[in-house]
Each structure stands twice: as structure tokens, then as C-alpha cells.
Amino acid sequence: VGCGICVKKCPFEALDIVTLPEELEFPTHRYGQNGFALYGMAIPLEGKVTGILGPNGIGKSTAVSILSGQIIPNLGDFETDPSWDAVLKHYAGTELFDYIKMISSGSLKASIKPQYIDFIPKVFKGKVIDLLKSTDERGKLGHYVQKLKLESILDRDIGKLSGGEIQRIALAACLSRNADFYFLDEITPYLDIYQRMTAAELIQELSVEKPVLIVEHDLAILDMLAENVHIAYGKPSVFGILTRPKGVRVGINQYLEGFLQEENVRFRDYSVNFETYSHNREVKRETLMTFPALKKNYDGKFELTIRGGEIRCGEVLGLVGPNGIGKSTFAKILAGLEEPDEGKMESAVKISYKPQYIKTDSTDSVEFMLRQATNKFDSNYYKHEILEPLSLEPILQSSVSQLSGGELQRVAIALCLSKEADLYILDEPSAHLDVEQRMVLSRVIKRHAESSGSGVLVIDHDIYVIDMISERLFVFDGEPGISGKALGPMDMREGMNHFLKELGVTFRRDKTGRPRINKPGSYLDREQRSAGDYYYAE
């Protein structure tokens, strides 16, 4: 039975192993005897943003350590000390030669924004402005501060910032440096869609002057930002292969399909599809709960206004809007964790809620926690619908306090879905997940809604995730931190039109049904804008 996301074969039966193309007999780098091996290489190009697209643990950072001169690649021979001379010889006559020559002479300067930014407050003490000033090598800092809306936090202590603030500071710092090559390992974590678009715009601006390489798991942003992509595939933590660059449209489509045409390699045995018709599907659904018009005011500083509505059995509802607009507050009101000031939630529906920020210092094992949440742990259903797709089996015995961000997210999603409830609320489930895990997440959530007959509300900033799973949409707008207004649920077309108009972008669909952001001012953009059709023209 298809859920619409995969058409060919169930991902849970996907093969672990891919065949290695012959021309990739020798790795670019191998970490020791049984260590991870990277094949192929990414190529930074003048005047362009190049993306790397693939799951975590596949060698993306390793490639960047080589490109920034931190690792001399050993070309698979981990027993001899590597030398740049050997590497130069290896790459003679290729497009990487000039670049490697620059690294080997020690004259290359790379500016890097790391994937994990949580360490920044630990190594840098002091005010935001002092950190940023020390990176202002191109005289562009003022521009970045204004665009990324950092003015109001310049005097703040670095130790007292939110994830979204640290991310924007890290972006500004990386772009402000004067370097020969820029690398940004994920730009979107903690950012809302507005901030993601701004970050993309600033990176594109810089790429006119200098080569920029990015890793990004939000495909709508990657699609808009990069000109070419290298697809990274293989077996995480065992070996990874970087393809030659592909045009971004083709590259993303091949990635979703799981088949690399030029290489003639199928690296995944199911394909991910966007299903345009699901949004208009006339499904008869019973009402699960209704909520009245509600108001919530925090200390006279922030006010949220909610229009009444209903949630139906078995549907997945998307919820979109900028940061600080009241999305989590709404979720907490529905979950009964916050009392509204006006209006009253009277339904007695049972809610299971995954908060946006997951904190835990519990030393319990993952398995212990899951068993406490469900009595189905040993069932086939649980194994196939939860444990396998969310890749939890390898970490069942780990202590929850020691998990990485992505692992903890997957455990939190599993915990939320394990409980018996009428309505499941997931606040930002895509955060910290790689692109492969986001596809699986969408599938798990849809199937859960369908099989449980409950409702699922998903708050997220990844438009592809929202587009893939939602049947209807809540849209929040207003002034972040001051007032928020909740509209919906609306059907996808009405909701997305509302949201995209606010965002100022239009979307089209390509031949595969994948939504793509139109270039501002392009023919389609102007056409759709004047027709008021921001979402997509069929």
C-alpha cells in the first residue's frame, strides 16, 4: 500500500550495499585499516555556489578538510605518510589541479562555518559585537548585521543566545572573512524560512566573487541557492562516494529518485515523490476535535490570536510561520500545557506532544524509555513502522543523555508516536535530521496518521517536508515577538498561497512534481504573482 512518498519499494527493505563504479577503484582518502573511505571529490568553482547533497557520515566534512588543507589525502594508502606531491601528481590534468596547487603551497585561506554551532558560546566569551568585529576582513559586517537582523543583539553576551541567533552570527562571521574558499556546513538549522532565504541571498552575493561550497539538507533552499551539486552516497561511516557535479535541478531529482543516470548507479531502491493530487484529494474525514477562537497574552509583550477551527481524524496538518510568532504557544495550548486568556479548550482529546527543544539528562537507555511509552515495543508493527525507519536499532542500548542531536530527535519522534493519543503534535521534527532522514520522517508520520486514525500536527520550516506530508495547513503571521495571528486549517493551495505571498516568493512544479522557488522577476514569477497564484501552476 503506497503512502504516496515511495512508489517502487518500501525503504525499510532497502539494500545496504551499493556497487562501486569501476572508475572509483581507489579512494581519495582512507582513515586507517578499517576506517572510512572517501571516493571522488567536490570541486569548488569560481563564481558559483556548489552544493553537496547526501546523508550524514558519508564523508562531506572529510572532503572539506581536504579542500581546506587540513588533511593531506592519502589516496587510500594509509600506511605511508601522505604528501602533497603525490596528490598533485594524482590530480595532474584535472580541474582540481590548480586548486590543489594552491592548498599545497600553503597560500589558501578557507573560511568555514561548522555544522555544530553549539560549541561557539563555550570557546568564545564576551559580546557578540567583539566576536563579529574580529572577523570583519571585507568591510561587509555592517551589511550582514543589517540583513540578518543582528543589531538588537550586538551587545548581548554570547552565552545568552538562542540557537537561531548563534546560527546567524556564525553565518555573518564566516562570510565576513576574506578567504579564497568558503564552506558552510548547513545554513538552515534553527532558522525560519525568512531567515533561510536571507542567508541564501547573502551566500549567493558572495559567490559572485569567491567559490562557495555548502552542505544543506533543506532541499528547497539548496535548490534555490546552488548552481551545481555533488551527490554523496554509499554506506554511512563505511564508505562514501562524491559524484561529479550535476546541475542542481537534475541532481536533486536524481537524488530523490535514488538513481544516478550518468553513473548508472541505483543507490536507494525506492524513490521519493511529491504528490500534487493529495492536496486536493477529497477525503471524507470525521471531525476529531474543534477549538474555539482563542487569545493568549504573555506579560503584555506578546499576543497570539487564534481563529477557531477543526482537526480531522487521520489527517496530517502542516503549520508554518516565522520564529517568535506563537507556533509553539499554540501547540502548548492545544496540549493543555498553557491556559488561554480568552476562549477555552473544552475537548477532552488526548494529546502527545514533541517539543521543539528536547532536553534530557536522563541516563536511561533508549529502549527503556520506549518501552515505558508503549506496550507494542516487541511487535512487528513497531519494528517496521518505528524502529527500522527511524534507525533506532543501533542506539537502543545507548543512554539518552549521550545521543547526538539527530539521534535524540529521532528518539523524541518515536516517543511521541509511541503514546496512545488522538492528536500528535510534532514541533520541528526535521531539525538536526539529514536529507535522507527527512524523507523517512515524512513517510513515518503519514503512515502513522493513516493507521492510527488520529490527527498529526507538524510544525516545520522545511517547505519540502511540509509539502510532502500535509493535507491541510495552518499559517501564522504577524510581527515576531509582538503579535501573532493563526489562520487555518486551510486547504494546501489556499494556505500555501497565503504563506508564500507573505514570504514574497512563488513556487512552480517541475516535470517530476517537485516544487521549485521561481527566480524573483522571472517570467513565471511575474505571471504567477499577477494571477495571485503563489503556490504552483499545474
For ligand ADP, give the closer residue by CB, 389 or 480. Answer: 480
Torsion-angle region of 319 (φ positive above 0: left; ψ -120 to 50: alpha; else: beta): beta
Residue 318 half-sphere exposure, CB side, CA atoms within 13 Å? 28
* Residue found by looking up cell 514570504 in the block: 503
SS3 398: coil
Interaction residues for ligand ADP, span 465-484 (CB under 6 A): 481
For ligand ADP, give the closer residue by CB, 3 or 473. Answer: 473
DSSP state of 395: G
Q: Contact, 316 vs 465, CB < 8 A? A: no
Contacts of 369 (CB under 8 A, 6+ apart): 362, 400, 411, 415
406 binds ligand ADP (CB under 6 A): no
SS3 476: strand
- Min dist CB 426 to ligand ADP, Å, is 13
For Mg ion, give the closer residue by CB, 356 or 398. Answer: 356
Strand pairing category for 228-235 and 49-53: parallel
For ligand ADP, give the closer residue by CB, 251 or 326. Answer: 326
Q: Contact, 293 vs 345, CB < 8 A? A: no
Residue 377 site contact among ligand ADP, Mg ion, none (CB < 5 to 8 Å, cut-off depends on kind): none
Stretch that binds ligand ADP, among 19-27, 166-174, 255-263, 318-326 (CB under 6 A): 318-326
Q: Give the three cell numbers for residue 322.
A: 516565522
Residue 56 site contact among Mg ion, ligand ADP, none (CB < 5 to 8 Å, cut-off depends on kind): ligand ADP
Residue 17 half-sphere exposure, CB side, CA atoms within 13 Å? 2
183 binds ligand ADP (CB under 6 A): no
- 111, 195, 253, 329: which one binds ligand ADP (CB under 6 A): 329
Residues that bind Mg ion (CB under 5 A): 327-328, 356
Q: How far apart are CA 351 and CA 170, in angstroms?
A: 37
302 binds ligand ADP (CB under 6 A): yes
- Min dist CB 26 to ligand ADP, Å, is 17
The number of residues that bind ligand ADP (CB under 6 A) is 23
Q: How far apart are CA 119 and CA 438, in angstroms?
A: 25
Residue 372 site contact among ligand ADP, Mg ion, none (CB < 5 to 8 Å, cut-off depends on kind): none
For ligand ADP, give the closer residue by CB, 196 or 446. Answer: 196
243 binds ligand ADP (CB under 6 A): no
SS3 353: strand
Residue 237 site contact among Mg ion, ligand ADP, none (CB < 5 to 8 Å, cut-off depends on kind): ligand ADP
- 212, 325, 457, 475: which one binds ligand ADP (CB under 6 A): 325
> Which residues pair with residue 318 across a beta bridge?
458, 473
327 binds ligand ADP (CB under 6 A): yes
- Min dist CB 328 to Mg ion, Å, is 3
In this structure, how many other beta carbons lie within 10 angstroms of the beta carbon of residue 449?
Answer: 23
Interaction residues for ligand ADP, span 50-79 (CB under 6 A): 56-62
Q: Contact, 497 vs 533, CB < 8 A? A: yes
For ligand ADP, give the closer residue by CB, 51 or 321. Answer: 321
323 binds ligand ADP (CB under 6 A): yes
- Min dist CB 378 to ligand ADP, Å, is 31
Contacts of 86 (CB under 8 A, 6+ apart): 75
* Residue found by looking up cell 539518552 in the block: 400
Residue ranges that bind ligand ADP, judged by CB under 6 A: 31, 35-36, 56-62, 237, 298-299, 302, 321, 323-329, 481
